[in-house]
Structure 1
């Protein structure tokens, strides 16, 4: 990337630019600087690049060009370039969403992973600011380095996704993620403010008191209202936590969670049995919760990558053995201590597809697709019983699944947590053939129907296989969401395959 100096060069008979303090000069510079920066934003790859998501690899999309901005000014320049060439803009971080939210065919694509700088920590208020392309490991490392020297209880993150770590902060905002907290709302609770570049190339600050409507639309808005360039996070003080592990049935899980909360536990989940040949299918689980401890030195000991690979191989070839190995391992971690931040980090191999093909050469080419559905906690056992019956009937391959809990989101416009919910996450195996994808689509649609029939909902991030009727049942405000998109972005500068799909479903095209 070429750096362009905007500093003036003077001779004795020149008039300094900074003395020309006139409206005309300001207007001239406002046009000139983005134009110069436009020239500095170089493509990171050749043109006409095919991009795909990391996990499912079911969204190959050819974009016109890929840019990797490093600053808000370069994002502004990219938007001016798109306007001048009549291109749409798509935006991605680590590319883990699976519904085409990051890509738009023939778009100018912004790869935000070079906007990864930590900017500041306010130790008095417990606020941190970082560029939107920073990943969780880099953010955590920067937070540790920025702590005051006398800070015995350092500031840290509250929650993150727990399935993978190399995910960007901007992606977490755009999808309104959640972690394993027992009493927390989605990620919106941790966001103090955002810096957004809108479709006109203007920078805006969004918060609960500034541009409040946009704040509610951008969080969980999948990049359709502008480019998030900076995020200001609300932090919490790090605690050491002790993991308490039980292996048992799902029976009375709601009551057991309530007791854990009463006893002061902070994190927890229930990872359920994926072995369809077992009587305990979707019933037995690893119930692991984390409580504050006075032990000062974390003793965290995670499985190494080779051990994780063995578990994943067994999950695809011998789920009975895989579940036995997993529960045996988890019981050895009972009583271990973790930092409240590090307890949420896990190993993830983005190239797991290749590893599986190498070790299981007869495995049909495919991948995992995630779906997350929500039901009121009192409906959980009935939902899981019905799901087990459906999966057995249709020979659905469950590779992994977990149950978490969430509190109602009362801030965002498109809340997936429209009430307190149990969150059920399914990783299903999808064979990459026309019939295999059609089978998976039906499996996920039936999952969504089961959740909706129990006054539940579903997450929009993982695929776009829901029907229009399901979308309206779960998100009755979605037509208004599309209207507000047009209001804030009348030229539809920010697009994605996900947006184009739903715009067409609701006949909201120009």
Structure 2
């Protein structure tokens, strides 16, 4: 009896201790109110985070912010890395709980969804109807509202920027009014809000165009970087059977920016087998990918090993059948890295297709002399799309997505920033631009050179939001 009593006392002690520790941690966290994004480079003290669970709570949060004269920023998964989702002493409106798929229309091939829903939520809803998303990022973990705010693009070479697939959306404006925005109704907002980084109001819900899901065949080839431009024009863009495409450029020291392998996803001649493949897949090989990326962060031989294993994997995958939906369900957990003294950041540069070969040559010469821990480069294609005022695709472009590991100290940020500004100079010299959801390394001059309509964009922002209710650190850096 005494033994049982002693055991219960121990259990109660553990529970009470856990609760006290949890309460202390929660209190400290709430009192500090420090928020950051996935890069962890910009920890910022805010007033509070408000969860947007339903429309009336979102409206109420904005009303209260106006009454208290607080700035408002909008957040989804916080994978934008330049302070786009928070502002000092402001309110962060967290939309991730506002996540319902409101309806799928198989006849008109559309989906109606709240802005906090992820692309995975949409895939789960549309897959049973044999439908698929037209445009999204290569990972499906992001919120729809966040993707709209950065005007995302993906692997589909026949559907370019996300803005092209939007029918309409509802917007909660700074004054509290809710309007429907389309290419016909309140159309002045359409090219501003999509690709507008949350500066014009809260996207509440949206209707997106879908396409038919289909069975695709994976086709992979190796080549050198100086062969890619011609190969793409002759064997990818001109081949209507190629639906999706991506390439990888070597960052391994033994083949730095010289070797490539490309993957085309072609419409299969075996569509009758579709039902055997249309179960949505789960993530695979995540542990191995994270392990190899870890080696790449620390060792040059790790980069060589990772590159060789990637080539081997894709060679073995040649001829593999996969549905469109599953091609768009790439691994995402490997993006989550929480090193104590370092972090992974992204950069993305857009370069005209006919400039690619010369651009890579110049980039190789430049980076060979720079001390930057470049771990991966993925190459995609995005066609000209100037509907968004802050469009990155002024013509048909290759998009180079760079994964970089850097230290988190002041000296490390300066070193990385110097190198990135040099890469942006080279990109602009070749008629290119860079993507805006990342850390504030580019100069103001580089920003305006890459985005010639930026001044007009920010003038519209101040016209439609004269009190500057919706702000973030990106706006503070480039829009003030």
Q: Is the TM value for this pair above 0.5?
A: yes
Q: May I ask how many residue pairs the two structures share in their alignment?
A: 442
C-alpha contact 2:286 2:334 (8 A) present in aligned 1: no
Partner of 1:109: 92
Question: Is 2:228 the counterpart of 1:253?
Answer: yes
SS at match of 2:306: helix
Alignment RMSD (CA, Å): 1.8
Would you say the 8 A contact 2:290–2:334 is kept in 1? no
Please point out which of 56, 78, 84 is paired with 1:73: 56
The residue aligned with 1:475 is 451
- Asked if 1:119 corresponds to 2:102, the answer is yes
Equivalent in the alignment of 1:291: 266
Partner of 1:10: none
**Separation of aligned partners in 2, 1:379 and 1:118:** 41
Asked if 2 retains the 8 angstrom alpha-carbon contact of 1:47 and 1:64, the reply is no
Find the counterpart in structure 2 of residue 15 from structure 1. Answer: none
- Structure 1: segments with no counterpart, 5+ residues: 1-44, 148-153, 358-364, 505-510
After TM superposition, the structure 1 = structure 2 runs for residues 221-236 of structure 1, keeping only pairs within 5 Å, are 221-236=196-211
Question: Where does 1:98-497 land on structure 2 (aligned, <5 Å)?
Answer: 98-145=81-128, 147=129, 154-162=130-138, 164-258=139-233, 259-263=235-239, 264-275=241-252, 277-278=253-254, 280-293=255-268, 294=270, 295-296=273-274, 297-298=276-277, 303-316=284-297, 317=299, 318-349=302-333, 352-354=336-338, 365-497=341-473
Shift of 1:47: 5.8
The 3 A distance-change label for structure 1 pair 144 and 270 is closer
Q: Which moved more, 1:451-460 or 1:410-419?
A: 410-419
**Post-superposition CA distance 1:262-318 (Å, at most 9, x none):** 22201111101111x21x211211211100112423397964222112221232222
- Structure 2: where are the runs of 5+ without partners? 1-28
Higher helix share: 2
CA distance in 2, matches of 1:261, 1:503: 37
Task: Classify the secondary structure of the residue corresponding to 2:264.
Answer: strand
Q: Is the 8 A contact 1:217 1:413 kept in 2?
A: yes
Map 1:30-109 to 2 at 5 A. Answer: 46=30, 48-54=32-38, 56-109=39-92
Match of 1:35 in 2: none
Structure 1 residue runs of 4 or more that deviate by more than 6 Å after TM superposition: 299-302
1:348 CA drift (Å)? 2.1
Pairwise CA distance, 1:350: 6.5
Q: Is the 8 A contact 2:345 2:404 kept in 1?
A: yes
Alpha-carbon distance between aligned partners in 2 of 1:475 and 1:199, rounded to the nearest angstrom? 25
Q: Say which SS state the counterpart of residue 399 (structure 2) adopts.
A: strand
Which residue does 1:503 correspond to in 2? Answer: 479
Contact 2:289 2:334 in 1 (8 A): no
Once residues 417 and 131 of structure 1 are traced to their aligned partners in structure 2, the CA distance between those partners, rounded to angstroms, is 27
